[in-house]
Each structure stands twice: as C-alpha cells, then as structure tokens.
Amino acid sequence: MANSFYITTPIYYVNDAPHIGHAYTTCAADLLSRWHRMRGEEVWFLTGTDEHGTKVERAAAANNVTPQQWCDNLVNSAWLPVLATIDASNDDFIRTTDDRHKLGVQAFWQRLKDNGFVTQGKYEGPYCVGCEEFKLPGDLVDGTGEYQGKDCCPIHSKPVEILQENNYFFALSKFQAELISHYEANPDRIQPESAYNEVMSFLKQGLQDISMSRSTVGWGIQVPWDNDQVIYVWFDALLNYATAINYSGYADGSNKAQFEKFWPAVHLVGKDILRFHAVYWPAMLLAAGLPLPRTVYAHGWLLVGGEKMSKSKLTGISPNQIVDHFGSDAFRYYFMRAINFGQDGSFSWEDISARYTAELANGLGNLASRLTAMLEKYCDTRVPAPGEYLPADQQIIDLIASNAKKADEAIDSFDIATAITFTKEIVDAVNLYVTEQAPWVLAKNEANRARLDTVLYVIAESLRAIAVLHHPVMPKATTLLWQMLGATALGSIKDQLMRSAGEWGQLPVGTITEKKESLFPRLAEEA
C-alpha cells in the first residue's frame, strides 16, 4: 500500500539469550521504522521469536524443562527485555507458539497442498541443526581440529547430521523460472547487489524440491493432514511475516484489512539466511498466490576474530554489557554508523569509546551545551532574532538543506551509515562555525549585538535540524535536545517531518531554551 511501510526482522531462535548480532538487526529495523514514521507513513514494525525445531527442543531437554517452558522463560527474561534495552519501537512481537501463528501456518500449508504443491517423499542427506537447514553437498566444508574428516557447516563449524526421513516435500523446483524473471525485472527486490548476485546464481543452478515437514522432530506445528509430522521449522517460521498481520483472516476472508494494508514487507535479514528469504519464501508466496516481498535486504555480520559472532562459539556479547556503559543511544549510533549495513564489521570497545567521546560527547553533546549556556548568558535563555545572513551563515543553511535531502535519499537505499554521516557533517560544520564566529568575542562589544544574535540563531536552528535528522538514530538524546531548544512549540520531535527537516527558519524566535544535563555524559572511567 502506497503510504504504508511494513518492516520485519528475522524472528530469533530462543535456544539462547540475545547477543549484539541480534540487536544489530533490530536496531536497523527500528531506525528505518522511525525514519519512515517521520515521513508520515503508516509503519508496522514486526519482530519476534522462532521457537520450534530441534535446536530449541534440545536446549529444553538439556535443561530438563518442556520446550514451552523453556521458550516462555527465555522470551520473558531475555528476548522481550532486550527490546527495551535498545529502545526498539516495534509495533508487534510474534512468537511462533502464538495461536494466531499456528492457525495461519496450518491454513497456509493446507492451501499449498490443495493447490498441488506438496508431495510425499524421502529425504536422505545432511542437516545442520545450528542453521536448522537441509544442506546441499556444495554448502559444506571440511572439518578441522576435533572435527577433522567430517563434513561441517561453514557457519557453525560443526559436523552436519545425516537424516533419513519420510516426509512431505514442497515443489520448489516449479518456481525457478518465475523467480528468475521476477528478479531480472525487479533487481531492487534483493539488496545489496552482492546479495542479488548470490541469489541469482543459486537460482540459475536449478532448484530441487525441499522437505516441508519433519517426522523425527516433536516440537513444532502439526502438519494439518498428518498427525505424525510437524512442519519444518523454517517453513513455519517464514510465515510469521504473514500470520502477524492476520493472514488467517485474509485467507478465510473474515478480515482482510490488516494484511491488505501492510503486505508486502521489507525484510531485513543477516546474509546467512538470505536463501530462505529470497528463494524459499517467495516461492511459498507464489504457490499461495500472494505478492512477493517489497525488498529483502541482507546485511553483514558482526565479527569476532574474523568469524560471525555467536553464542554457540562463545563469542556473543550481550547488548546490556554495552548499553549499561554507553547508553542505548550510543549503542544504536555506534553500530549503525561504524559498520556499513551491507558489509561485515568488527565491534571493539576501543572504537566505541573513541567515537562516543569524539562524535557524541565532544561533538553533538558539547555543541548543545555550548548553545544553551550562551543563550542563557547573552539572551536571557531566548532564541534571538537573526539579522542579515553572511556567507558563513549561508554555508550552514545550504549544507543543512542539501545534507537533509541526501540523508533521506540514503535511507531509501538502506545506506544507514551514510545517512548518519550526512547529519554528522552538519554537526562538525556547526562546531567549526562556533569556533570561527566566536560568539563570546562578539558578546564583548554591544555594537556586535545583531551579529551575535544571528550567529546564535544559526546555531540553535541548526541544532533543530540535527535533532530531527538524528531522532531515528538516537531517540532519547534528541528528545532531550528538543526540550533544551524549547522546540516542543513545534510539536513533538517524533511528529516532525523528514521531508522538511532541512528547511531553514523553523525554530520560533523568542523560544525559551533550557540548560540541561549533558546529552552524552563523560564516561565513568574518564570522569
């Protein structure tokens, strides 16, 4: 739908607690959600948990609890709280153990069976429990160390298991040609380009039918026409994107509104699960006669020692460890700015500390404190009326107009780091402007009053634009900045429109500003 924007994260496995790799995808989805809301679009931001399958079943058994108890406990103690930790503004949270999901999944597969896309068959081959994936021979690597001589999963570096099961197959092979022509006609449906190329080469190798059910797994959604099988966990999980917006109501015609309003979605996924989202899921949608996803964007990995950060490899860092020290805004800013969204990147404590101090505390935080201190000292806290603009002022005005537009465009291509950099360029330019215009020198001579007022207005109005542009990145700090500027007269910050963020002259003259605590306090060890 034209003015709606439906964005999803993958639903996360609850075999363990979240690490910063999971929080990374959620942060990106949150930033994009907030940005699109500030374009006046009706946004639906979905995240959730993937609770069925062998991995979760085994984790529960190892801890002597039922799978349901295990899931309830982890969702409530870890997965829901992490959303608050990183300040996520999700509109919904789906669990694959929700009734709304189970019903939708069963209705969907019954429909595919009725449409002739499900057959009976036998699967014999490798399976990676870490990925919950039937592997193709070309997907595997030789094991090293204790796994020498064994076929291993390249992501989990652990041996695959060999399965022999009678189960049901989804007729994936029937969709090869249709998917290739769809993507050739709409290359922007898979981004970035490297992901597009990977999917196209996979599609061109040919597709094989794939198991859609499991006969040796107990923890799952029952196949509607066979009590002895459960639906393969990925073919249950992918459907969350539809069941969360009431696919059941859409399918039986009882309530089509929500599905029709929001479908199709933008899916943010890690590059490890691209094939599921850009091949299997669209094939399922074609089989059901539903429109294909608006975009599948595959982002890079957070690496530790050159490998994907993961709990199973004991390299996971919990989001709390970082947020407790730096705050949620700095967490969001750091991960979204320091790593290009489509590429891998490494986290380091040194890097986040350095950027916090340079870009947030000394950059933006200091600019805001200096402005409110000067307005208190020279203007009785009020935003003064600007006089004639000189070239130095006009440069700032022009930079804001142009960078606000460029940041908005960067968001359209999911280039989040670049969008943030455009705003940071404004912060740097205004800091330099403050140094060069030296309002404290102007203030020494009453003859400079008009110039002093103009300079202070330029700084205040620049901070108004910066607050708006940075709001999706750092909701808390920018809300505080909005209050400092007295900009609440313009309405709440989240209701500002990105489209007009760069338009000059919005902060009303005479507005009372307020000195507050610093936006980014100095870090504990430095204090």
| Residue 463 binding ligand MSP, by CB under 6 A | no
Which one of 79, 301, 347, 422 is in contact with ligand MSP (CB under 6 A)? Answer: 301
Residue 101 binding ligand MSP, by CB under 6 A: no
Asked if 270 interacts with ligand MSP (CB under 6 A), we say yes
Binding mask 179-198 for ligand MSP (x = CB under 6 A): --------------------
Q: Which stretch binds ligand MSP (CB under 6 A): 58-66, 209-217, 269-277, 422-430?
A: 269-277
- Of 238 and 498, nearer to ligand MSP (C-beta) is 238
Short-list 382, 359, 355, CA closest to 457: 382
Active site residue 27: no
101 is catalytic: no
273 binds ligand MSP (CB under 6 A): yes
Q: Does 308 bind ligand MSP (CB under 6 A)?
A: yes
By the rule CB under 6 A, 12 interacts with ligand MSP: yes
The number of helix segments (H) and strand segments (E) in the chain equals 22, 18
Please indicate whether residue 113 is annotated as part of the active site. no
Amino acid in position 165: E
Q: Which of 337, 340, 317 is nearest to 329 (CA)?
A: 337
- Quote the CA–CA distance of 85 and 135 in Å, as a whole number: 35
Instruction: With beta carbons less than 8 A apart as the criterion, state whether 458 and 384 touch.
Output: no
- List the interface residues with ligand MSP, window 48-67 (CB under 6 A): 50
User: Which one of the spans 21-29, 288-296, 474-482, 493-501 is the region binding ligand MSP (CB under 6 A)?
Assistant: 21-29
Site membership for ligand MSP, residue 232 (CB under 6 A): no
Work out how close the CB of 270 gets to ligand MSP at its nearest, in angstroms, rounded to a whole number: 3
Residue holding tokens 């300040």? 87
- What does the alpha-carbon distance between residue 141 and residue 490 come to, in Å, rounded to a whole number? 58
Q: Cβ closer to ligand MSP: 96 or 328?
A: 96
The yes or no reply on residue 283 touching ligand MSP (CB under 6 A) is: no
Number of residues that bind ligand MSP (CB under 6 A): 20
Are residues 294 and 265 in contact, defined by beta-carbon separation less than 8 angstroms? yes
Active site residue 128: yes
Adjacent-strand bridge partners of 261: none
CA distances, 509 to each of 136, 426, 513 (Å): 66, 22, 11
Residue 269 binding ligand MSP, by CB under 6 A: yes
Which one of the spans 83-91, 268-276, 470-478, 483-491 is the region binding ligand MSP (CB under 6 A)? 268-276
Asked whether the beta carbons of 316 and 298 are under 8 A apart, the reply is no
Amino acid present at 230:
V
Q: Select the residue interacting with ligand MSP from 238, 244, 404, 411 (CB under 6 A).
A: 238
Side-chain half-sphere CA neighbours of 240 within 13 A: 27
Contact 367, 518 (CB under 8 A): no
For ligand MSP, the binding residue among 112, 160, 251, 309 (CB under 6 A) is: 309
Angle at 487 between CA 482 and CA 493, to 5 degrees: 55
Q: Any catalytic annotation for residue 156?
A: yes
Q: Is 267 a catalytic residue?
A: no
Q: Which amino acid is at 175?
A: F
**Rounded to the nearest whole angstrom, what is the least distance from the CB of residue 45 to ligand MSP in the complex?**
15
Q: Which of 431, 424, 400 has its CA nearest to residue 500?
A: 400
The catalytic position among 27, 131, 152, 379 is 131
CA gap 2, 483 in Å, rounded: 33
CA atoms within 13 A on the CB side of 213: 25
Q: How far is the CB of 500 from ligand MSP (least distance, A)?
A: 33
* 22 is an active site residue: yes
Piece of 9-17, 66-74, 448-456, 475-483 that binds ligand MSP (CB under 6 A): 9-17
**CA-atom Rg of the chain in angstroms:** 26
> Do residues 165 and 227 touch, judged by C-beta distance below 8 A?
no
- Alpha-carbon torsion, ordered 76, 9, 343, 474, to 10 deg: -70
Q: Which of 156, 182, 256, 261 is catalytic?
A: 156
Give catalytic status of residue 152 as yes or no.
Answer: no
Residues that bind ligand MSP (CB under 6 A): 10-13, 21-22, 24-25, 50, 237-238, 240, 269-270, 272-273, 301-302, 308-309
- Which of the residues are catalytic? 19, 22, 128, 131, 153, 156, 308, 311
